[in-house]
Structure formats: structure tokens, C-alpha cells
Structure 1
Amino acid sequence: MTNVTRHNFEELLPEILRNIERSDFIAIDTEFTGLHFQSDSHNSLFDTPQDRYSKLRQTASQFTVCQLGLSAFIKSSSQNKYSAHTYNFYLFPKSCATIDARFSCQASSIQFLCQYGFDFNKLFYGGVSYLSMEAEKELRQQVEEQESILTSDVDDHLVTSFTSAISDWLPGAKEGDQISLAKISDDMVSIQMQALLRNCFPDIWTSQVDTGEILITKLNPEKKAALLKEERPWTERLLVKLSGFTRVFRHISELKKPLIGHNFLTDLLFLHSKFYKTLPAKFQDFKRNIHDLLPHLYDTKFLIMEIRRELEEAGLSLTSTSLANVYHAMHTDPSKLGVPHLPEIELADNCARYGKEEFFHEAGFDAYLAGYVFLRMAHYITAKDTSIMHPKLLTFRKYIPALAPHENKSNIIRASVPYVNLAGEDPASRRPKLLYVTSRGPSPLQAKELAAMFNTYTSVDVKMIDRRHALLATSTWGGSKDIMRAFKNDRTIHLANYNVFQHSKPVRYGLWGAIAVMGAVCLWTFFGDQPKKT
């Protein structure tokens, strides 16, 4: 694994882009600074796909991606082997001109990151910049109108110290003389400062040496003009630096490679929000956008939920569907999958330490695990009906048709549906019917008391309608039946299967209103058309 910060990003970028191009698929994982922006944004069995999207949209819009793992899996040309090239990016947005992202965090998320050894120094001091494509487009338009907007936020004290030093030195300097000024560790600030200095002093040239110091050279305006023609415009260099990791994301999107994640609907919202553009209000619009950007998505959580029973019957021990547990099951004894020609998966040299120690919840490590698990399941799904004596090895292209039923479907936890379809219609709910709870006595219903009472039978969520009525969502059909049976003759509450026409006041009032209007129209039609007596 290679930790990628702003200090080595430009150096590593060609290698990263090249490995993405060479890869058969890419796996990702993200760590972020918060999970729930509001107290009512927790998962609920009542959640429709739009409801869940609206909650996740708040999270992805308000919080920040602080770490992103990327693992590019490359097939060997001569062996039945894949090599995982893994990168662990620390990300932190830069401010420039009108761009100044808010940094919000949730204490529980920060504590979680600390628990797993997250390096906050790398985040704040070395985080790679990023800029959404939407924001970049807006900023470029502003620069065309007013170039100086890109230097409007440079520290005045820093500018004064540099200009004063040059003003003192310049009168006595001869053409070709040089002076070194203070070190600037931030490449973006260096570009901004050099642009300001060149604008202030027509007869100097600026450059940054390896030590980070700004080198000032006195020269005539003609030579300066010639050098400017040879150099890439400073505004373009600054915007490229500002976009940072978005260049990697754009490359992934352009290549349309399969993208893998584990339970990664939230990750996808963060990718859209931070590297593409503001999240739309409607889930359907988000699905359209993400499908255009990343048309081949595979969620290992969804995959394992679909074939879990098969794998357990084959002898694989899956105590849970967490990424760590699935990886351990498939890594410890892959022969239990019972399929021929299972490809070997090796760690590339840049992430050899992942073979010696486990780093759960480090984005790079989790990205590697997601890719590992995906490759094992993709081969199992494709080869499970193949004879053990079959001599032909399977290429990655052979996996794609077998995986078609699972493509672009992402698992969602504790909702009205088990998954969402990012390239089509979402599935119908498989949950039991909602239960309508009515208080039999004068005492008002309490959501927490109801939840505690019913949770002994199955996992439930309660939604209050008013003081005497509530809706109950249950997670299992058996649990729902048990609750109805247990409270059939209860003296304090009455339970019934929810019927929207019977139990929803707005619907009932709407129906009665419609009947009244139709009656009035019929009466007017009947009596209004009677001929008048003369």
C-alpha cells in the first residue's frame, strides 16, 4: 500500500493512472468525517429508496471524505494470477478564491477513526486537494472574467514580506542576479505568490527550487515575455493543482472500468458530491448521473447476500456478511468454494505490508479486501457449474455475463427494500405489512416503550401518528405474526394490518372530499340542465 499525500501525489499520478488503465477492475473504499448529520437520519425499516437517499444526501453533502482507498486488480498475461496495486489517499479540500469548503465532523466518527490509528497529521498537513467538476467549471468561468480572483485569498502579510524584500534588492541588482526568498511548502501558494510577484515587478522572473524557496532572477521584459510563452499559464497550473484527486476520478469515469465496493451506496454519494457535482434532490436523478459516470458497479455486500446460502452449503463459514468476515472465510480456505482454476491474488510491491498485518478501516486495505472478495465471488458464480476437469481457464471477460444479474445493484441496510437498482427500477418491498397500533385506554402511546415491547419478538421501528395511534414496521414475517398473536387480546393496545384507506386520515379526508365534489357536480349537472318554465 502506498500512502498518497500532496507531497507525492504528482510524482505517483502517472503510475496510478497507468495501473487504472491496465486493470481489469478497480475497488474503492472511503472513510468520512460523519455518518448522521441530523438525529432523525438513522436507518429505518420505514425508509423507501428515496427516503434513504435523502438521509444519505445530507451526510454526503455536509461531511468530508478524509481518506479514499483504490485498489487496481491487474491480470497476469502468463499466469492465472491477479496483482492488486493499492493506494491510500488522504484527501483535504483546498480553499481558493470563491472555493472554501466547510469542514464538518461528528465526534463519534472521529473517535472511530482514532480507534483504528487514522493519521490526522497526514490529513490536515498533507491531504490531496480535490474539486468537483461542477465547481471547477464555475471557477474557470470566473477566471476568464477576472484572472486575479485566483490570488485574492493569499495572505497579505506574506505578500508584503516578499515584495518588501524584492523592493530592497532590485535597485542594486544587475541583469542575471538572483536572490532566494523564504520557503513556501504549499505548491498552490507558491504558484499564487509567483504570479503576484511577476505582476508587481515587470523585470523579474520567479521559480521554485527543490528546497521550496522562491528564486528571484532579474531580467529584461523581453526575456520575461519569451519565458512566459514557453511556460504553461499559471492559472491552468493552479487549477490543475486544485483539482487534485478529481483527475483520478475523472480518469476512472472516462475508462468505464468495473468499480467495486462493499455496501457502498454511501461511498457513491460521496463520490458524486465531492468529485462531480452537487447531489440532486431526487434519487432517480442521482441514479441517472451515477450510471452515466460509472456504468459498471458491483456491491460485494449485495453479492454475498445473494449467494450466501450456496456458499454456506458448500462449507464456507459465514457468521456475518461484514467485509472482514467474508474476506477471512474466502482467504483462509478458498478450496471450500469448490470451483476449478481459482485465480491467485497477490499483493503488488507497493502494498506488501497488507500481507503481514491487517489494517481494517484503513481505506486502502478495505478497498483491497473488497476487490479480493469480489474476484473470489465472480469466479465462483461463473465457474460453479463447470467440471473440475475442465481445462480452460476463465478470463475476466467471462465473468461479466455471469455477473449481469448483480450489476448496478447496491445493498441497503434496514429499509423497506433489500437493495436499490442504480440502472433501473428498484425492487418491491419484501418486508411484512405495516401494523397499525391503537391505544385502547386514555394513556398516550410512547414510541420508545412500544419499540422496547415489540423488539423482544423481532427488530422493529415505530412511527407515531398522534398520541393514540402509531405505525409499526417489522423486519421479519415470523416476528410480525408473533406480535399479532401475542397482542391479540391485549387490553392496552389494538393491532391491525395497516390499510391506507382505512387508517390514513389524509387519504380518508381526500376520498370524502372527492365524493362530495363528485356529488355536487352530479347535482349541478342534473338540476342545472332542467328547462326553465315560461
Structure 2
Amino acid sequence: MDVNRDNFYGVLPEILNDINNADYVAIDGEFTGILPFNKMNYFDTPAERYKRHYECDRHYLMIQVGLAMVRCINPTENRYALKAYNFYLYPENEIDAFDFRSKSSSLQFLAANHFDFTQLFLKGIPFVCKTTHLEKLKNSQLSSSHRNNQQILNSNDKNEKKSEAIANSPKQSESNNLSDADLLKNSMIGFSEVMWKLQESGKPVIGHNLQLDMLHIINQFFTPIPLSHDEYKFIVKSLFPKLIDTKTIASTSFFQNIISNTALHAIYKIIRESSFPACYFETTDNFQYASGEHEHTAGYDATCTAVCMTIMMAYIAEKTDFKQNPIEHTLINTFNGKIFYMRSFDLIYFDVFNNDDLPDRSCVFYVTHPQRWSTINIHEYFSQWNLLAYDRLDLTTHIIAVSLTNDTKETMLTKMRANDKNLIITSYAEYNRLDPSKIKIKQPSHLFDKVLNNRKSDKQTFNDKNVVTTSTEEITTLATPMNISPNPTENPIKTTRNYNDLSLDNKMNSTMEQNEKAKQVKRQRLSAYDDE
């Protein structure tokens, strides 16, 4: 359901009630820009990556938010209730207006995916950042109180005692000492009320590749994000102590043999196969996210995230003989706070609730080289030592990782240094001035292990395999309730009296594909955080 300024306050009670009744809430956002991949380094620590996001993404705006609420009706039958909303967000007026950045390529991406900019600019729901809005209200209250007292005291010198009595009256004192909650209750806070309700509910918040969504949620609705990564983690933990990333779950050993591509819409396609249990979702009659024509709409992607979360947890429950609501499975605590870590050599996730210990990086080296050297030179020169990964740090430095299967760090350094005297090769610990005896190494986990020797030898690329596809599948209409079940293309599920197939298909329908081809619209990989 699309929600804008025209209908927001009419459906707000229903939205808040749905949050209150949900077992968990999936969230997704669309933005005016994102940090590009070439501004990330393959060997970034979580703190270094956060600094890059801080310097870039805090200046962009989350302009669309999708929420999908899921409630388990019957765990043994895998029956769930599903509600979804798609919100357009935009600052209120000139008084509350603020500057934000946008990236032309990001706006083109949204336009290519049928984003309604007219609805955004003319009907976007206003919002406020909690701490900055409270500060404004308190400053305004103090200024108003000071003016009122001054007027009373100066009104009539002959009535000095009367003025003093008015200034110190209980009513005047009460107006000067309103609680934060009362101040906010008496002001227009718009969509922020939804996010604050979600935070206060304590319900698990589910996202796919959640890092950027969470950064914007904190910065836009709660408090400006701090420069310090540790401070940011403290804020996130205090506000949202239950955070689950479906991309992290899909990357675990539970699914390593059945989910080969952890992009959101790729997972959605895979979970409809016979390897996964059938789940049934009851929806409203006007539920609109039945087909891929809404792909990259926040409400649709939040729905896909909710469905993926539900079916993956139902799969885990089935494999572990867990009969209760899958969201109550003990593994949820293992997944909690582990936010997927994009474009990394050795990290699958960063733990927003615990210390950022790194895996063993004894195989990682810094190479200082002549400025004329390119990435191609690095690849060619170090391939003889089974080069696992590499990335450029600056004009004269690359970071590389090589296999130490048959060598120690010291013997590998000796070999590499002996071949070319023009190169300065330094170990990871030495370059970063780390005391090897004090380095805390992340302990391996069978659930999240990355097998480095199975990695590609060059930098990971992120290609959108779902850019323009053709489909002979019929896109069915949505019924109530709806059914997510194994759906082989050669045997499509037929409409029955009680249930229709939910075709949350990740492909654009053929008419839209033809239009895009005719217009030569380039669906760029600009919103990688949505796809990946």
C-alpha cells in the first residue's frame, strides 16, 4: 500500500497496530545516493568502512521506506499474516527544510524503476530527527518563556508582586518543564512516529544488506550519526537490540549448497523451489506487491525480505525439528546483530553488538610500488604466489592477499622481496603498527566460515544478472490469502478456490521489458545495496 501525505494520518492507527501485532518487521529503503563500490576497499576494517559511509552517505536522504509486518498464525502449517506499506518521505516546508545531496546516477536508477517523483515532492510525508527536533522545541520553549516573563515583568512597575506571582505560578512552571515525550506529542513529527513506534516495540527488525538502511534510519529519525564507529554501534544497540540481516543468514553454511546468489531477488526466486518448505501468507484484498513490476520499490523489497526471512527460518526449523514459531528459534540469537559486510576479502558480516575482531590477516601484505604500476601489474606479478585478492590503497600502494598453504608469513615475505627490489612489501601488522601479541583474531565459526582458497583470484565484481530478462511465465493476480510454495516454471500452480499462487516474481513483465529496451533505458547497478 502506497502511503503519502494525503492518506498517512488516516492509516497511521492501522500501521501502528500492525507493528504492535507483528512477530517481526522487515524494512527497506531507497536513497538519493549511495557510497559507490570504488570508494570501498576490499580490506577495510568495519571502522574504516563506517568512516567512508559517514563521510558520504549521511549527506544523502532516504526518500522511500518499505515496512512489511509478519505474524505467525500456525507454525506447524507455516501460515502467516503479512501486511506491507510503502512510504514516500520528504521534508515538510521552508521552515523545516534542510540541504541534502543527490547523485544523478541514483536518481536515474530510481526513474528507470518507475519511482514516482511527483508523489515524492508534492505528497512526501514529513519527518523529524528526534534529538535535533527536541533541541529546537526546547530552544523555542525557552525563548517563548523568556519573552512572556519579560512582558509580564515590564507591563506595570506598580504591580511587581502580581507579576512575580504570575511568573512563578504552577501553570507557568509546568509549561517550562514539559517532558521530552510531551514536547514531541504536541508537535508535528510525521513519519518519524512510525519509526519511533517500531523502536519502542522492541520487535525484531529484518533487513537485507541492512547496513545502509540502518545508518539512514538512525541519522534521519533518531540522532545524527557520530564520527566514531564505537559510538554508532552503541546507538544502534540501544535503539534496536534485535537486528537480523537476511543476506547474512543466506550466506551461512545452512544454505551454502542451495543458495548460490545472495542478492535479494535471487534468493526470493530460490526459496520458491522444492528444497524449501511451502509457506502461506494471508494478506489484504488490495495487496499490491504480487509481481516484479514493483521491484526496487521499498515496499515490494521489504515484502521480499519478509518472505525470504520467513521461508529461510521455516527451512531451519524443519531441518532442526523445531515445532514452534521459527522466529523463536535459538539460532536467531546467533544471527542477531550480524550485519552483512559488502565487498570484503575475509568478512561476511560485522557485529554491531560486539567487538570488531578481524580474521587472521597474516596472509595480507601492503605493496609500495612505482606510481606507473597499475592493478594489472600487481595481478601479473603476484599471481605466481597464488594471489587471492587485491585492491588499490593509493597511487603507489596496493593491498594483496596470498595463500599461505605452503608458506609462513616470513618465508612468503622473503620470496616476494627477492624478486623485485623496487617493491616495498610490508606485513599487515607491521604496516598498521599492530603488536602481534595483542591482536585479537576472530575465532572461526562453522556457520560463517569463508574458505579463502575457494575465492576468485581477482577482485570481486557485482554484476546484476537480473537486469533485462525475458519470461514466458504467466504473472498471476494476487488473491487472499496468498500462497508462497514451490513453483517450478514447467508446472505453474493453478488458481484454486482457496489459494492462488503468490507471484512475487523478480522479473519485470514482458511489456515493461520491451518498453525499457525500446527506450534504451540502462538499468545501472546504482542501488547495489538493494540488489545485493
TM-score range, shorter chain: 0.5 to 0.7
**1:409 is aligned to 2:338:** yes
**1:263 is aligned to 2:209:** yes
What TM-score does the superposition give when structure 2 sets the normalisation length? Answer: 0.66
Is contact 1:431–1:475 with CA below 8 Å preserved after alignment? no
Distance 2:118 2:65 in 1: 16
Letter in 2 for 1:326: I
**1:336 is aligned to 2:278:** no
**1:145 is aligned to 2:139:** no
Aligned ranges 1:48-59 → 2 under 5 Å: 48-59=45-56
Is contact 2:26–2:302 with CA below 8 Å preserved after alignment? yes
Please list the CA deviations of residues 264-304 of structure 1 after superposition, one character each: whole Å capped at 9, or x if unmatched: 11111100000001111111111111111111000001111
Distance 2:366 2:194 in 1: 51
Is contact 2:361–2:428 with CA below 8 Å preserved after alignment? no
Is contact 1:419–1:427 with CA below 8 Å preserved after alignment? no
Letter in 1 for 2:2: N
1:282 to 228, 234, 250: 228
Which residue in 1 is equivalent to 2:427? 498
1:435 to 344, 358, 365: 365
Alignment CA distance shift 1:261-1:57 (3 Å): same
Letter in 1 for 2:399: L
Which residue in 1 is equivalent to 2:454? none
Alignment CA distance shift 1:347-1:427 (3 Å): farther
State the shift of 1:355 in Å. Answer: 1.9
Please list the CA deviations of residues 442-464 of structure 1 after superposition, one character each: whole Å capped at 9, or x if unmatched: x5443555456479855421224
State the shift of 1:62 in Å. Answer: 0.3
Is contact 2:88–2:123 with CA below 8 Å preserved after alignment? yes
Identity of aligned residues (%): 25
Aligned ranges 1:166-245 → 2 under 5 Å: 242-245=188-191
State the shift of 1:46 in Å. Answer: 2.7
Is contact 1:26–1:259 with CA below 8 Å preserved after alignment? yes
Is contact 1:484–1:495 with CA below 8 Å preserved after alignment? no
Distance 1:306 1:283 in 2: 25
State the shift of 1:417 in Å. Answer: 3.1
**1:306 is aligned to 2:252:** yes
Letter in 1 for 2:225: L
Distance 2:264 2:324 in 1: 25
- Secondary structure of the residue that 2:97 maps to in structure 1? coil
Is contact 2:390–2:398 with CA below 8 Å preserved after alignment? no
Is contact 2:211–2:339 with CA below 8 Å preserved after alignment? yes
- Secondary structure of the residue that 1:460 maps to in structure 2? strand
- Secondary structure of the residue that 2:294 maps to in structure 1? coil
2:83 to 82, 85, 96: 85
Let me know the Cα RMSD of the aligned residues.
3.5
- Secondary structure of the residue that 1:76 maps to in structure 2? strand
Alignment CA distance shift 1:297-1:143 (3 Å): same
Aligned ranges 1:420-499 → 2 under 5 Å: 420-429=350-359, 433-439=363-369, 444-450=371-377, 453=380, 458-464=388-394, 470-474=397-401, 490-491=419-420, 494=423, 496=425, 498=427
Is contact 2:82–2:281 with CA below 8 Å preserved after alignment? yes
Letter in 1 for 2:251: M
Aligned ranges 1:28-47 → 2 under 5 Å: 28-36=27-35, 42-47=39-44
Letter in 2 for 1:336: S
Distance 2:352 2:261 in 1: 25
State the shift of 1:397 in Å. Answer: 5.4
- Secondary structure of the residue that 1:349 maps to in structure 2? coil
Is contact 1:81–1:345 with CA below 8 Å preserved after alignment? yes
Distance 2:236 2:260 in 1: 32
Letter in 2 for 1:349: D
2:319 to 384, 391, 396: 384
Distance 1:479 1:348 in 2: 60
Letter in 2 for 1:410: I
Distance 2:310 2:122 in 1: 36
Letter in 1 for 2:302: A
Which residue in 2 is equivalent to 1:326? 267
Distance 1:20 1:476 in 2: 49
State the shift of 1:140 in Å. Answer: 1.3
Distance 1:268 1:432 in 2: 32
Alignment CA distance shift 1:240-1:246 (3 Å): farther
Distance 2:407 2:378 in 1: 13
Q: Which runs of 5+ in 1 are unaligned?
A: 149-235, 387-391, 509-534
State the shift of 1:123 in Å. Answer: 0.7
Alignment CA distance shift 1:487-1:344 (3 Å): same
State the shift of 1:395 in Å. Answer: 1.9
**1:369 is aligned to 2:296:** no
Over alpha carbons, which structure has the higher Rg?
1
Alignment CA distance shift 1:475-1:107 (3 Å): farther
- Secondary structure of the residue that 1:113 maps to in structure 2? helix
- Secondary structure of the residue that 2:289 maps to in structure 1? helix
The worse-fitting range, judged by mean Cα deviation, of 273-282 and 374-383 is: 374-383
Alignment CA distance shift 1:383-1:110 (3 Å): same
Distance 1:103 1:283 in 2: 22
Alignment CA distance shift 1:499-1:361 (3 Å): closer
Distance 1:114 1:393 in 2: 45
Please list the CA deviations of residues 407-447 of structure 1 after superposition, one character each: whole Å capped at 9, or x if unmatched: 111011123633111111124235563224355xxx54435
Letter in 2 for 1:446: W
Which residue in 2 is equivalent to 1:394? 324
Which residue in 2 is equivalent to 1:131? 128
**1:25 is aligned to 2:24:** yes
Distance 1:446 1:480 in 2: 26
State the shift of 1:487 in Å. Answer: 6.8
